[in-house]
Chains A and B, each alone.
Chain A
Amino acid sequence: AQTVTQSQPEMSVQEAETVTLSCTYDTSENNYYLFWYKQPPSRQMILVIRQEAYKQQNATENRFSVNFQKAAKSFSLKISDSQLGDTAMYFCAFPISEKLVFGKGTKLTVNP
């Protein structure tokens, strides 16, 4: 079965510090995408970052980067220089055919 697991229900970080959110997945596919989505308190979900499994280089989007370990099936999100606006639920996601399967999410709180 193809699954996505986020083992950290809640995390907190001080403003300007770095935090890493964990995600593991299970698949028998060789080529695929992995995603991190952010859902701020306003509730509209948006894509944060996308990683293509065939690319060895980790994806980076400004302060957001991933640590993709294909053999370990691990896909963590690193947020550098955390800002108050980063407070949100973060979901790791994996596409299976026409569907996107999400982990249970990590609630991140950035403290001033």
Chain B
Amino acid sequence: SQTIHQWPATLVQPVGSPLSLECTVEGTSNPNLYWYRQAAGRGLQLLFYSVGIGQISSEVPQNLSASRPQDRQFILSSKKLLLSDSGFYLCAWSPGALANTGELFFGEGSRLTVL
């Protein structure tokens, strides 16, 4: 069966420090991968998605970047965190095109607090 893991679950970082959130998927190959950010009252905002190794699409200009060094690994990074980067980050995967399958499988989430 397929599983998705993301870590760390909780992170408190000072402004200006770097960030690395990791996500891995097991039990499948060539998944589509996604990073969402969830803020109170604003739903889920898609940050990045990837349909293959090295292929990253960015949805909104921001202080963050994403990379996919391996087929089932997706990393969210920042060189210098801002206060506005605080939030709950969700990694997700889908087995193919969402228009065909529609279902996203989510990780447990990572709570980032920037002080």
A residues touching B (Cβ–Cβ < 8 Å)?
A: 6, 9, 32-33, 35, 37, 43-47, 50, 91, 95-105
Total A-B residue pairs with C-beta atoms closer than 8 Å? 59
The reply to whether B57 and A98 form a contact with Cβ atoms under 8 Å apart is yes
Q: In the complex, what distance in Å separates the CA atom of A95 from the CA atom of B51?
A: 15
Contacts of B32 in A (CB 8 A): 98
User: Which residues 22-73 in B have Cβ within 8 Å of A in the complex?
Assistant: 32, 34, 41-44, 46, 49, 51, 57, 59
In the complex, what residue of chain A is closest to B57 when comparing beta carbons?
A98
The reply to whether B106 and A98 form a contact with Cβ atoms under 8 Å apart is no
In the complex, what residue of chain B is closest to A42 when comparing beta carbons?
B108
Q: Which 6 pairs from chain A and chain B are nearest by CB?
A: A104-B43, A95-B98, A45-B106, A33-B102, A102-B44, A43-B109
The reply to whether B102 and A50 form a contact with Cβ atoms under 8 Å apart is yes
Could you give 16 example pairs across A and B, Cβ below 8 Å? Answer: A9-B41, A33-B102, A37-B104, A43-B109, A44-B107, A45-B90, A45-B104, A47-B103, A50-B103, A95-B99, A98-B51, A99-B34, A99-B49, A100-B94, A100-B102, A104-B43
